[in-house]
Structure 1
């Protein structure tokens, strides 16, 4: 049995290595390119170290006990059939975990409040807003201030806060740029808020992190972070050289299927919030419906989105 067990163990280790090798994109969270991702990395490292304070001694003691008290001829281990209590040992193996959990709880609560996704990032630069719509199976990005739109591609300037407004046309998804911060759900009928900032130029991997059907794995995109000057030139180039996104184009984008990267010089008015409100029944009282009916200001938009985020962020 022992040779068979060794072979099975070796096969299991090889299988684990092969499986984990397919998760290389997940290591992007350990290569932060912005303050949010950096803080999240710190929290992961601190939490892991605190857990290791408990895990390493327990694993080591388990190995020592198994070896020392294994069945063998002429064993020299002490035999104490009536031993049942040690105040010193009880204090150690209950006290250390309790202290570690208390420290971990305090740190986690502190970071959770600091990393609330709807909280604006403090910066001297004026933030830009990008509206993100999850479609089957593609991403639609609309820039309300620049009045341009893109599919499966997003671009924004370095050292500039970006306010992502997230929604979904149908199935719930999860918007994620691992180098810049954690994921946040995009849900139909909701407008979530995710604040991110990139402090290094580059091209970063983005994806949908929630299963949404057959081609969900194709819902990836590049997030290009450039200088402010290059970003402004890109916006002007899109306006001058690309076609407009029409209502007919939107209907086609909503159909199930993948799509190539595309750019548009304009998009239908209130496209993002029309998608948010498409499932609101006539006469239904809704914060979003009241917003659309009364034409409230952007400040009211933010209040609505922040209220949504408080109840639904991940």
Structure 2
């Protein structure tokens, strides 16, 4: 009974330990080089911060005990107010920690930029010159994941595979709402957004089956938006590709539109072939037949707006009518043709009316949408969006 009573007193202290029994420590024990570097960054940052936290906690307890009311030996100095040495310690130690954290953050932010191509397989091996990266195009659907392998001509749903020690170039987008593509054993999470393309470069260094999921809440089926990522040998990956091509069906535009509809707990699916350009259509929000692609809209905006060609034709007709004495105005025409002067036939050359349309050369240099774009993201054409579109 005494042992039982002693254990009952210790049990509340053991509860935090028991609560960790079901935790998956994959973030602190990953299988990919990028995730390993991110793990190291977490450890370094934590240690640097503990250099301040631990002494503060210790000194708090020490001062409470040392200067307790019952300790008559403690020095009592009610008029004390300043110590230069103590001030130096109080300010220099945190300043040094902040500088160290800033340096670590600056270096790691650039080194672990998800858009930056890999320069090594792991800490001990560089990427061989003959290595060809594996390209995977990722689409977040409601509520499932669609993966394209453009170099292999296949696609899968809720299953991803890659050979060990081969760089993977992910291109990531979404069909309708924001999600987050996350394989903890491989690399950190990257957001998937409709009409945008984000990127991730990573490599898996160990064989195994790892969990992948959406780390951003996106509706009713979010909790089941999971998939398996298989790290395979090159021979195992070739066999997996062969299985997909043997067991899979064709993924065309019609099949995709059916797949795109919201569904939960979607099983793994294989597609032996994928329609060329389907990923680009999803990225440009024009997978539905007859819908204008976002890249086309951007091109029209860059050229001066929709209907520019028709407006120029009306302006030219209006100008020709003036020269020939025809009083019939072209519908909607208010200015002469681009690049011409707004004077009538009997006006001397060089006289222009106010409000004339600028010449075509004057349109050069104008910015699209005030020249703003979201940094770190790709737009409809899959290339990084420039800050300004000149000339």
TM-score by length of 2: 0.67
Q: Deviations over 1:133-162 (max 9, x none)?
A: 111111111111111111111011111001
Contact 1:118–1:306 under 8 Å retained in 2: no
Q: Give yes or no for the alignment of 1:32 onto 2:39.
A: no
Q: Residues of 2 paired with 1:101 and 1:19: CA distance?
A: 33
Match of 2:104 among 107, 110, 117: 107
Structure 2 stretches lacking a partner, 5+ long: 1-7, 120-126, 287-292, 304-377
Q: Tell me the SS of whatever aligns to 1:28.
A: coil
Contact 2:174–2:194 under 8 Å retained in 1: yes
Instruction: Give, in angstroms, the shift of residue 21 of structure 1.
Output: 5.5
Structure holding more helix per residue: 1
Instruction: Give, in angstroms, the shift of residue 13 of structure 1.
Output: 8.2
Instruction: Give, in angstroms, the shift of residue 18 of structure 1.
Output: 7.1
Q: Deviations over 1:164-217 (max 9, x none)?
A: 110011111111111111111111111111001011111111111111122212
Q: Residues of 2 paired with 1:204 and 1:222: CA distance?
A: 6
User: Could you say what the CA RMSD is over the residues aligned between the two structures, in angstroms?
Assistant: 2.9
Q: Give yes or no for the alignment of 1:198 onto 2:201.
A: no
Contact 1:141–1:149 under 8 Å retained in 2: yes
Q: Which residue in 2 is equivalent to 1:293?
A: none
Q: Give yes or no for the alignment of 1:182 onto 2:155.
A: no
Q: Give yes or no for the alignment of 1:267 onto 2:274.
A: yes
TM-score by length of 1: 0.82
Q: Deviations over 1:34-93 (max 9, x none)?
A: 221121111111111111111110010111122223344x64332211111111111101
Q: Tell me the SS of whatever aligns to 1:225.
A: strand
Match of 2:116 among 119, 127, 139: 119
**Cα distance change of structure 1 residues 35 and 157 upon mapping to structure 2, 3 Å threshold:** same
Q: Which residue in 2 is equivalent to 1:165?
A: 171
Q: Residues of 2 paired with 1:181 and 1:282: CA distance?
A: 30
Relative contact order higher in (CA < 8 Å, ≥ 6 apart): 1
**Cα distance change of structure 1 residues 273 and 42 upon mapping to structure 2, 3 Å threshold:** same
Match of 2:55 among 57, 60, 64: 57
Structure 1 stretches lacking a partner, 5+ long: 1-6, 291-300
Q: Residues of 1 paired with 2:19 and 2:259: CA distance?
A: 34
Q: Which residue in 2 is equivalent to 1:307?
A: 384
Q: Residues of 2 paired with 1:281 and 1:198: CA distance?
A: 34
Worse-matched range after superposition: 75-84 or 140-149: 75-84
Match of 1:94 among 88, 91, 95: 91
Q: Tell me the SS of whatever aligns to 1:249.
A: helix
Q: Which residue in 2 is equivalent to 1:133?
A: 139
